[in-house]
């Protein structure tokens, strides 16, 4: 069990560009969550998957954001036409619905800087 892996760890991009983040959850975990954390604040829920199904999206997730988990394993979060306000840490977490369904394990995050 190598924990939750996120890639890339850091991304610097220019406004208007598209970026994609990848998350590999703990292998036996069937739930996957995305959170956003801005500097000095607590994480905010964006969306979550159970297996490949995206079951809920926060209103924070504008039309420029899309998340997928095509085979119920890794997930990607894409931001199109990035804006400076998108600069944040994007955290992925996973949990096991069948056993410890409430316990989220977070990855180290992907930090996005939009210039």
Q: Which residues are near other proteins by CB under 8 A? A: 4, 6, 31, 33, 35, 40-45, 48, 50, 55-56, 91, 93, 95, 97, 101-109
Residue closer to other proteins, measured from CB, 1 or 102: 102
Q: Are strands 19-24 and 5-7 parallel, antiparallel or unpaired?
A: antiparallel
Residue with token string 């890339």? 8
**d(C-alpha 24, C-alpha 69), whole Å:** 10
Residue closer to other proteins, measured from CB, 17 or 41: 41
Residue closer to other proteins, measured from CB, 21 or 35: 35
**d(C-alpha 62, C-alpha 20), whole Å:** 15
């Amino acid at each position: 069990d190598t924990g939750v892996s996120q890639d890339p760890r850091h991304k610097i991009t220019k406004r208007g560009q598209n970026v994609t983040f990848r998350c590999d959850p703990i292998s036996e975990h069937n739930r996957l969550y995305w959170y956003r954390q801005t500097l000095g604040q607590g994480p905010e829920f964006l969306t979550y998957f159970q297996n490949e199904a995206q079951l809920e999206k926060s209103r924070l997730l504008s039309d420029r954001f899309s998340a997928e988990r095509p085979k119920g394993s890794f997930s990607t979060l894409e931001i199109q036409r990035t804006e400076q306000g998108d600069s944040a840490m994007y955290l992925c977490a996973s949990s096991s619905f069948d056993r410890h369904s409430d316990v989220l394990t977070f990855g180290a995050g992907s930090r996005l800087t939009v210039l």
